[in-house]
């Protein structure tokens, strides 16, 4: 992993956007994996700015979302289908028909999950996946206990995830208890991954993901098995990293030597 510790969310957004811009400009037709929730919003805003002010084009891109709530139709104000359009894709030149997500309203969630998983492979796989991480270590909706080889499937959300997401709904009782989520095995098939997190409430999850044992207890730790992951965290989110000084040293030397750092 390359671990980048930044001063604040704005600097982190620029680092994440740099990764996106490199892939979009260099890869030709590209498949992006898009996360929802609060973690990637600042990066999406920076990418929108680069599109409008610097000509960064997404015209050759298509996208797959990580997850969707079960029981919410696409037009629901809290659906991730709607979220990604309101916060990112409707503000750039990506074809809306190529922004794909699981159907949370499907009559058979398990069959829909399998269909969606196949569709990612049929598109050639994801070139770049952006991720956030939950305070309990989940990525996408892979809660603690998820198989490290899991595929896209229906998942039951933990009480902590429901509590974290309740702020987006009228009440805690309105938060769906089920979601369709790409599995940890699905996510790790992306050719490149960038994960971003801010805030002290993410510090333990980040430390376990980067430096802890690979374990279903901390699903994000599965990313240690991926060959090309960039982790971008602010000082608060990185505050429990025991090797923080080393990560800063790696970053400094790599910048001086024009290398791509890897821990």
* Residue 140 burial (CB count, 10 A): 30
**Chain center to CA of 227:** 17
Instruction: Name the 3-class secondary structure at 158.
Output: coil
CA distance 112 to 43: 29
Out of 138, 142, 164, 192, pick the active-site residue: 138
Asked about 86 being catalytic, the answer comes back as no
Out of 68, 143, 192, 234, pick the active-site residue: 143
Instruction: Name the 3-class secondary structure at 220.
Output: helix
Q: What is the largest CA-CA distance in the chain?
A: 55
Asked about 242 being catalytic, the answer comes back as no
| Complete DSSP assignment for 78-108 | T-HHHHHHHHTGGGTT--GGGEE---TT-S-
Out of 2, 46, 67, 68, pick the active-site residue: 67
Asked about 226 being catalytic, the answer comes back as no
Asked about 143 being catalytic, the answer comes back as yes
Out of 136, 164, 165, 234, pick the active-site residue: 136
Active site residues: 67, 136, 138, 143
């Amino acid at each position: 992993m390359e671990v980048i510790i930044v001063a604040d969310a704005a600097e982190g957004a620029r680092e994440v956007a740099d990764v996106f811009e490199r892939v979009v400009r260099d890869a030709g037709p590209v498949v992006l994996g898009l996360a929802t929730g609060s973690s990637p919003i600042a990066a999406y805003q920076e990418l929108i700015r680069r599109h409008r002010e610097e000509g960064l084009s997404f015209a050759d891109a298509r996208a797959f979302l990580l997850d969707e709530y079960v029981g919410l139709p696409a037009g629901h104000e809290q659906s991730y289908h709607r979220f990604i359009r309101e916060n990112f894709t409707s503000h750039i030149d990506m074809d809306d028909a190529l922004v794909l997500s699981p159907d949370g309203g499907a009559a058979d969630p398990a069959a829909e999950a399998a269909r969606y998983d196949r569709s990612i492979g049929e598109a050639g796989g994801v070139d770049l996946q952006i991720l956030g991480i939950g305070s309990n270590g989940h990525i996408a909706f892979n809660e603690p206990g998820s198989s490290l080889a899991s595929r896209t499937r229906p998942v039951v959300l933990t009480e902590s995830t429901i509590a974290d997401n309740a702020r987006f709904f009228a009440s805690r009782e309105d938060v769906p208890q089920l979601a369709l989520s790409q599995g940890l095995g699905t996510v790790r098939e992306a050719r490149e991954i960038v994960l971003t997190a801010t805030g002290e409430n993410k510090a333990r999850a980040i430390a376990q993901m980067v430096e802890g044992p690979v374990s279903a207890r901390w699903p994000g730790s599965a990313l240690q098995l991926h060959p090309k992951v960039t982790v971008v965290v602010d000082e608060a989110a990185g505050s429990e990293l025991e090797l923080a000084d080393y990560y800063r040293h790696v970053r400094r030397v790599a910048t001086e030597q024009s290398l791509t750092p890897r821990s």
